[in-house]
Amino acid sequence: MTTLAKTKPKLALYWAASCGGCEIAVHDIKEKILDVDAAFEIVFWPVAVDFKVKDVEALEDGEIDLCLFNGAIRNSDNEYMAGLLRRKAKILVAFGSCACDGCIPALSNTTSRAATFDWVYRDSPSTVNPDDVRPQEETEVPVGTLRLPTFWERVCTLGQVVDVDYFVPGCPPQAHQIWAVLEAVIDILEHGKPLPPRGSVLGAGDRTCCDECPRTREEKKISRFVRPHEIIADPTKCLLDQGIVCMGPATRSGCGALCVSVGMPCRGCYGPAPNSKDQGTKMISALASVIDSNDPDEIDRILGGIVDPVGTFYRFSMASATPAGLSRLAGRDREALQERTS
Residue 158 CB contacts under 8 Å (≥ 6 apart), including other chains: 16, 69, 71, 72, 73, 82, 92, 94, 99, 100, 164
Among 258, 303, 306, 329, binds ligand SF4 (CB under 6 A): 258
| Strands 144-147 and 138-141, bridge-based pairing | antiparallel
- Residue 240 near ligand SF4 by CB under 6 A: yes
Is there a contact between 122 and 94 (Cβ–Cβ < 8 Å)?
Answer: no
Using CB under 6 A, which of the segments 182-190, 224-232, 241-249, 291-299 binds ligand SF4?
Answer: 241-249
- Residue 213 near ligand SF4 by CB under 6 A: yes
Among 182, 257, 283, 319, binds ligand SF4 (CB under 6 A): 257
Tell me how far apart the alpha carbons of residues 247 and 291 are, in angstroms, rounded to a whole number. Answer: 16
Is there a contact between 244 and 226 (Cβ–Cβ < 8 Å)?
Answer: yes
- Residue 215 near ligand SF4 by CB under 6 A: yes
Using CB under 6 A, which of the segments 78-86, 105-113, 150-158, 268-276 binds ligand SF4?
Answer: 268-276
Instruction: Map residue 225 onto helix, strand or coil.
Output: coil
* Integer CA distances (angstroms), 160 to 83, 126, 140, in order: 12, 33, 34
Among 73, 94, 238, 287, binds ligand SF4 (CB under 6 A): 238
- Residue 66 near ligand SF4 by CB under 6 A: no
Instruction: Map residue 153 onto helix, strand or coil.
Output: strand
| Separate counts of helices (H) and strands (E) for the chain | 15, 9
- In the stretch 182-211, what mask flags binding to ligand SF4 with x, by CB under 6 A? ---------------------------xx-
Residue count, binding to ligand SF4 (CB under 6 A): 22
CA 294 to chain centre: 37
- Residue 102 near ligand SF4 by CB under 6 A: no
Among 36, 81, 255, 287, binds ligand SF4 (CB under 6 A): 255
Among 15, 40, 69, 270, binds ligand SF4 (CB under 6 A): 270
Is there a contact between 88 and 12 (Cβ–Cβ < 8 Å)?
Answer: yes
The single-letter DSSP state of residue 236 is: T
- Residue 21 near ligand SF4 by CB under 6 A: no
- Residue 319 near ligand SF4 by CB under 6 A: no
Among 176, 217, 301, 328, binds ligand SF4 (CB under 6 A): 217
- Residue 260 near ligand SF4 by CB under 6 A: yes
- Residue 259 near ligand SF4 by CB under 6 A: yes
Using CB under 6 A, which of the segments 40-48, 68-76, 160-168, 249-257 binds ligand SF4?
Answer: 249-257
Q: What is the dihedral of CA 282, 288, 289, 293, to 10 degrees?
A: 170
Among 78, 108, 157, 251, binds ligand SF4 (CB under 6 A): 251
Is there a contact between 265 and 259 (Cβ–Cβ < 8 Å)?
Answer: yes
- Residue 246 near ligand SF4 by CB under 6 A: yes
- How many CA atoms, within 13 angstroms, populate the side-chain half-sphere of residue 76? 9
DSSP element (H, E) containing 331: helix 331-341
Q: What angle do the packed helices 32-39 and 175-191 form, to 10 degrees?
A: 30
- Residue 328 near ligand SF4 by CB under 6 A: no
- Residue 178 near ligand SF4 by CB under 6 A: no
- Residue 175 near ligand SF4 by CB under 6 A: no
We find the least distance from the C-beta atom of residue 116 to ligand SF4, in angstroms, to be: 25
- How many CA atoms, within 13 angstroms, populate the side-chain half-sphere of residue 74? 23
Residues that bind ligand SF4 (CB under 6 A): 209-210, 213, 215, 217, 238-240, 246, 248-249, 251, 255, 257-260, 266-270
